[in-house]
Amino acid sequence: MDCIFCKITSGVIPTNFVAESEHAVAFRDISPRQPVHLLVVPKKHYSDVAELTDNDENLLLEVLKLARQVAAENTDGSFRLTFNTGASAGQTVFHVHAHVTAKAARA
């Protein structure tokens, strides 16, 4: 298994999850670029959101719902939800993940 997010979601690399659902987890980005910077990652490996959308709409919806939950729990309500897709768009980890970023943490 050569995928870092497969190692994180399966527990091979111990990680503190800020939230978890049946098929997805959320954890803090190791190098945050905003005051709030969380990643929401399905436990099953798909390389990017295009592949996820084409193959598993239910899992895509679960990722979005978990992102919405962690945004509600960790931000003041204003946040960005980003799927970098493709190397030239800035994707560096090729296991689909949503960035939840915000300037203000929940008070």
Burial of 69 (0-12, 13-18, 19+ CB in 10 A): middle
Site string (1-40) toward ligand AMP, x via CB under 6 A: ---x------------------------xxx-------x-
Closest CA to 15 of 41, 36, 48: 41
Choose the one of ligand AMP, Zn ion, none that binds residue 101, judging by a C-beta under 5 to 8 angstroms depending on kind. Answer: none
In DSSP terms, 81 is beta-bridged to 100
Alpha carbon 34 to its chain's center = 15
Binders of ligand AMP: how many residues, by CB under 6 A? 10
Annotated active-site positions, please?
97
Give the residue, chosen from 23, 45, 68, 80, that forms a contact with Zn ion under the rule CB under 5 A. Answer: 45
Q: Which residues bind ligand AMP (CB under 6 A)?
A: 4, 29-31, 39, 84, 90-93
